[in-house]
Chain A
Amino acid sequence: MLRRIVVLRKQEELTEAARVRSFAPAQGMLESQIQVRGLQIDASYHPVSVPGLAVVAKDTSVAASSNYRDMYKTSMGAAFGVRVVADDEEALQRLLRDRKDEVVGVYADPAISIFPTPYCGRAAIGKASDVANKIGVRTLLREGLTGKKVRVAIVDTGINGARIPVAGGWSPNPTYIPGTAPNDHGTMVAFDVQIAAPEATILDYALLRSENNTWTAFLSDAITAYASLIDLITREPGPLVVNNSWGMYKRADDAPIGSPENYSANLDHPFNQIVRTLVSMGADVFFAAGNCGGHCADPRCGENDRGPGASIHGANSHPDVITVAAVTVNDRRLGYSSQGPGGLHQRKPDLAAYSHFAGSGVYPADSGTSAACPVAAGVAAALRQKFSPSKVPSAQLKGILQRTAIDLEGDGWDYDLGYGVINANAAWKNLAPAPAMVKVNRSAKSRVA
Chain B
Amino acid sequence: MSTKPEAQRYIIQIDLPNAAQKKNARVDLDLLKHLLEDTGIELDSNYAPVLINPQQRRFVVRGEATAVGRQRAEQKLGTNVKFFSDGRVQSMTANRKKAQ
Contacts and interface: CB of A to CB of B under 8 A. Distances in A.
Contacts of A223: 11, 50, 52, 60
A164 interface: no
A224 to B, nearest CB: 6
Contacts of A273: 52-53, 58
B99 interface: yes
A359 interface: no
Given A184-B98, A223-B50, A270-B13, A261 B91 contact: no
Contacts of A260: 82-84
A271 B52 CA distance: 8
Given A220-B11, A227-B51, A270-B11, A248 B94 contact: no
A215 interface: yes
A290 to B, nearest CB: 6
A288 B92 contact: yes
Nearest to B55: A277
B60 A261 contact: no
B26 interface: no
Contact of B52 (A263, A274, A291): A274
A214 B90 CA distance: 9
A214 B100 contact: yes
Interface in A227-262: 227, 245-249, 253-255, 260-262
Contacts of B13: 270
B98 A224 contact: no
Contacts of A215: 90-91, 98-99
Contact of A253 (B62, B87, B93, B95): B87
B88 A213 contact: no
Given A260-B82, A261-B10, A368-B95, A219 B100 contact: no
Interface in A200-222: 208, 213-220, 222
Contacts of B62: 218, 220
A365 B99 CA distance: 16
B1 interface: no
A19 interface: no
A107 B86 CA distance: 53
Given A270-B11, A270-B13, A216 B95 contact: no
Given A215-B98, A270-B11, A263 B93 contact: no
Given A215-B91, A219-B89, A270-B60, A300 B96 contact: yes
Contacts of A369: 92
Q: A219, A298, A314, A369: which has the most chain B beta carbons within 10 Å?
A: A219
Contacts of B3: none
Contacts of A146: none
A263 to B, nearest CB: 5
Contacts of B83: 260-261
Secondary structure dominating the interface of B: strand
Given A223-B52, A273-B53, A336-B94, A261 B84 contact: yes
Contacts of B85: 219, 253-255, 261-263, 269
Given A223-B60, A227-B52, A270-B13, A248 B95 contact: no
Nearest to B10: A261
B82 A214 contact: no
Contact of B89 (A222, A227, A255, A274): A222
A218 B51 contact: no
Interface in A103-136: none
Contacts of A160: none
A373 interface: yes
A214 B88 CA distance: 11
Given A208-B91, A248-B90, A269-B11, 12 more contacts: A188-B93, A214-B99, A214-B100, A220-B47, A245-B92, A245-B93, A246-B89, A254-B87, A261-B83, A266-B84, A368-B92, A371-B93
- A-B pairs, top 10 by smallest CB distance, nearest first, are A367-B94, A288-B92, A255-B85, A370-B92, A368-B94, A220-B62, A370-B93, A215-B99, A274-B52, A368-B93
Interface of A: 156-157, 184-185, 188, 208, 213-220, 222-224, 227, 245-249, 253-255, 260-264, 266, 268-271, 273-274, 277, 288, 290-291, 298-300, 314, 336, 356, 363, 365, 367-371, 373
8 contacts: A213-B98, A215-B98, A219-B87, A246-B92, A248-B87, A249-B90, A255-B85, A260-B84
